[in-house]
Chain A
Amino acid sequence: MKDAKLNKNRKPLSDAEVKKAENFDEVLSKLNPPKVTFFQKNWPYMASIIVLAIIGYFVFGDPNKTDVTTSENKEFKLIAPITGLDVPNAKHKVIAGEEGQIVTETGTIIKYPKEAFLDSEGNPVTGEIEILFREFHDVVEIFASGIPMEYDSASNKYHFESAGMFDIKGMQNRKTLTINPDAPLVVELSSKQHGDYFNLYKLDDNGKWHYLEKDTAKGVYERQPDSTELAQLPEKIKGLEKNAKQVLKSQKKADNSFSKMLKVNNIYQPLKANNDLYSIQLESDKNEFPELVPFKKVLFEITEENDNFTPELANKDWDDIKLKRKSNGEYLLVMFDNLKKHKFIVRPVLSASDVADANTIFENLLSSYDDKLDGKLSSERAARDSLKTVYKSISDSINILNNFASRQAYEASEVEKSTAAVKRIFTIDSFGIFNSDCPQKLPKGALFEPIFVNGKDITDTLSFNHIYMAELNKNALFSLYGYWGKPKNQESDGDGYSNETEYISQEISFNPYHKTVIWGITSDNRLAIVKPNKMSALKKGGNLDVEMYVSNEKIGNLDKLRELLGFS
């Protein structure tokens, strides 16, 4: 905030100023005219464009490719980031016109009713057709497919945590089919995620996700806590421990203050004797210890700190015993044996049978002194007791959270071990890419500004305009766009970069409590990775040279990619 301007006592806008600024018509006038209006006014023109587009598609398009273009001619293409690696389609042959179902290798079920499939003119299709279906269940499959995982909600950028995604198409004689809206397909997608906090989305032709409905999953387990919630646990516990420490400090302060007040007013607060410690009954001097006078059968307990006390000393015949008060207010018992002195710190206590009566006497004394002291004694005691309650409550919360964290860690490992047991139910009336997702914000906690270099040759600075990030415990792929590396125009003269390189970087945030992996694809199509064990060094933040492992191997299959990224 060092560049911020500082104003003192500036008034907010007046009602009149606010009213003057109110102009809803202006907002409406700036809205883009709805596309439907344009279509209605220009339908003959639009119809020709659509006809031409359809012809063009069948003449030039390859229906096996998952290419999507936007209506605004900003071509959106689904491009697999690693050349030659993608999630392949499984081809299922079914008979259109009959009801049936497809069960995939993962256990996903695609149910289709009669007349579910239509041709491009909207007529029901009969005979053998081909359903092309591919599923994406983990970060590696999602990454390999190139499917965007960002969700824009009014300029608020989110990233999807996926409970499973699929891409479905129907073909007959190399012609694309559509789904009959009156006979939709039901896809029961197998999911390894057990949460009930997902929504269903569809990817549109512009590469943007659209919310469909709340996910209704079959066989959903008890709601797992949001992983963000789990990530915040250590911070929560740390915060509570800090609070507890402060409350304990205040409680001790209040305790001392109350004890001091009792002492000043010669009031002894009864304590029950500890059965594990020795105590001795003595007649104390009424003048020297007036606070003990109101109480009967006071015992003097030898405190835990007396290392020099042994049980044999308790049975010894002493020549003399004296009770003294130390300068700090503690009671000191001095025992004499053949002119030899033994000193023990003691505290006045009462046996279990006498303590109740003693407490009544104490309360009466307190009450009478309290009246004289305008209630100061009871308010001091209430303050102390209230702090005690707060401390107990915080301690309990810490215990609960610690237990919770342990239990969740255990449950998370058990859930990982379990097989897919949940089905995400999609009712679809169009082909395309569908996802069961939960929008997530970028992980937070640590921030660094990297210059990525090749770990095998740190003089080799790597440049990226797209960095991928994932947490090993979460099924979310985070895409970071920007630019990291050498300036693009560095080679050319006259741009100020010819003598000294000023690398370009942007901040990256991540959650240091989670195992995180960061990677990118170099310009020569190699996979460059910052593995989780290297991420902890980035916690310190700031401008850092970050060494990446650059793989020279050809990544021929998804398992190899899983292994390299640490997901296997």
Chain B
Amino acid sequence: MKQESSIYHQSKSAIELEHDIVEKAKMDAREFAPIYKKYHAPILQFVYLRLDDKEVAIDITQQVFLKAIENLQKYEFRGLPFSSWLYRIAMNELNQLFRKNKKMRTINLNESITGDLINEMEDEDLALHKEKLGIILKRLSAEEFQLIEMRFFEKRPFSEIGELLDITENNAKVKTYRIIQKLKELFKAEAA
């Protein structure tokens, strides 16, 4: 699978520069502007991918940055890009929303993702039934789909997925592999 360049992979100096900005922003929230500018678009797209309402996605994104600034004192620098923390806040906000309204959750599928997922299943016959992928994905649990979404929809490296979901990189790999096997079985059952 082709991996897209990720904001997760940044040079040490870029990460340290971010850290300096965050430290200044702890004293004065206005100093946070460069971080907002850098991450507003990826966080908004991250939120919108999981929703089908632009206005709600925009509101949640603003809420993510608001919470980040409000809680900057609690942020602990661990040598990772600040985005990891923002994504975690975004996931929390989204989970709160989905707990109230499960129908807000959206699976945004396209040809390229379908192709990648079918390829990963290593069974050419399944390609004949690719139109059923959406229905099959709906049978996954929210936790399972989240992994598939991060890996195949957003092309995130396993190291970043592990960091965002608070599991090890290896665990992210094993879990994803198992979900792919599950999808394969669901596909076969559907095709039979």
A349-390: contact bitstring with B at CB < 8 Å (1 yes, 0 no)?
A: 000000000000000000000000000000000000000000
Contact of A2 among B45, B48, B108, B139 (CB under 8 A): B139
Size category, B interface:
35 or more
The reply on B44 being an interface residue by CB < 8 A is yes
Among A6, A23, A32, the one with the most B-chain Cβ atoms within 10 Å of its Cβ is A6
Question: Is B107 in contact with A1, judged by CB distance below 8 angstroms?
Answer: yes
Chain B residues within 8 Å of A441, by CB: 166
Chain B residues within 8 Å of A328, by CB: none
Question: Is B111 in contact with A32, judged by CB distance below 8 angstroms?
Answer: no
Supposing A1-B137, A21-B58, A154-B89 touch, asked if A32 and B70 sit within 8 A by C-beta, the answer is yes
Question: Is B67 in contact with A154, judged by CB distance below 8 angstroms?
Answer: yes
Chain B residues within 8 Å of A38, by CB: none
A138-162: contact bitstring with B at CB < 8 Å (1 yes, 0 no)?
A: 0000000000000011111000000
Question: Is B109 in contact with A13, judged by CB distance below 8 angstroms?
Answer: no
The reply on A63 being an interface residue by CB < 8 A is no
The reply on A35 being an interface residue by CB < 8 A is no
The reply on B65 being an interface residue by CB < 8 A is yes
Chain B residues within 8 Å of A243, by CB: 177
Contact of A4 among B49, B67, B105 (CB under 8 A): B105
Question: Is A3 in contact with B105, judged by CB distance below 8 angstroms?
Answer: yes
Alpha-carbon distance A227/B103, docked complex (angstroms): 37
Chain A residues within 8 Å of B66, by CB: 27, 30-31
Question: Is B108 in contact with A7, judged by CB distance below 8 angstroms?
Answer: yes
Question: Total number of A-B contacts with CB less than 8 angstroms?
Answer: 135
Question: Is A8 in contact with B134, judged by CB distance below 8 angstroms?
Answer: yes
Chain A residue, CB-CB nearest to B135: A6
Chain A residues within 8 Å of B89, by CB: 154-156
Alpha-carbon distance A188/B73, docked complex (angstroms): 26
Alpha-carbon distance A21/B44, docked complex (angstroms): 9
Question: Is A4 in contact with B74, judged by CB distance below 8 angstroms?
Answer: no
Question: Is B33 in contact with A236, judged by CB distance below 8 angstroms?
Answer: no
Chain B residue, CB-CB nearest to A29: B66
Chain B residue, CB-CB nearest to A12: B45
Q: Which of B2-10, B12-20, B35-43, B182-190 contacts A (4 or more CB under 8 A)?
A: B35-43
The reply on A481 being an interface residue by CB < 8 A is no
Alpha-carbon distance A24/B37, docked complex (angstroms): 8
The reply on B24 being an interface residue by CB < 8 A is no
Question: Is A1 in contact with B171, judged by CB distance below 8 angstroms?
Answer: no
**Residues from 123 to 150 in B contacting A, C-beta threshold 8 Å:** 134-135, 137-142, 145
The reply on A5 being an interface residue by CB < 8 A is yes
Question: Is A27 in contact with B62, judged by CB distance below 8 angstroms?
Answer: yes
Question: Is A12 in contact with B48, judged by CB distance below 8 angstroms?
Answer: yes
Chain B residues within 8 Å of A100, by CB: none
A212-231: contact bitstring with B at CB < 8 Å (1 yes, 0 no)?
A: 00000000000000000100
Question: Is B67 in contact with A236, judged by CB distance below 8 angstroms?
Answer: no
The reply on A18 being an interface residue by CB < 8 A is yes
Q: Distance in Å from the Cβ of B115 to the closest Cβ of chain A?
A: 13
Question: Is B174 in contact with A236, judged by CB distance below 8 angstroms?
Answer: yes
Alpha-carbon distance A210/B74, docked complex (angstroms): 7
Q: Distance in Å from the Cβ of B80 to the closest Cβ of chain A?
A: 14
Supposing A235-B171, A441-B166 touch, asked if A2 and B40 sit within 8 A by C-beta, the answer is no
Q: Distance in Å from the Cβ of B164 to the closest Cβ of chain A?
A: 11
Q: Apart from A154-B70, A441-B166, what 4 extra A-B contacts exist at CB < 8 Å?
A: A1-B138, A4-B103, A24-B33, A27-B62
User: Closest 3 CB pairs between A and B?
Assistant: A154-B71, A3-B102, A239-B174
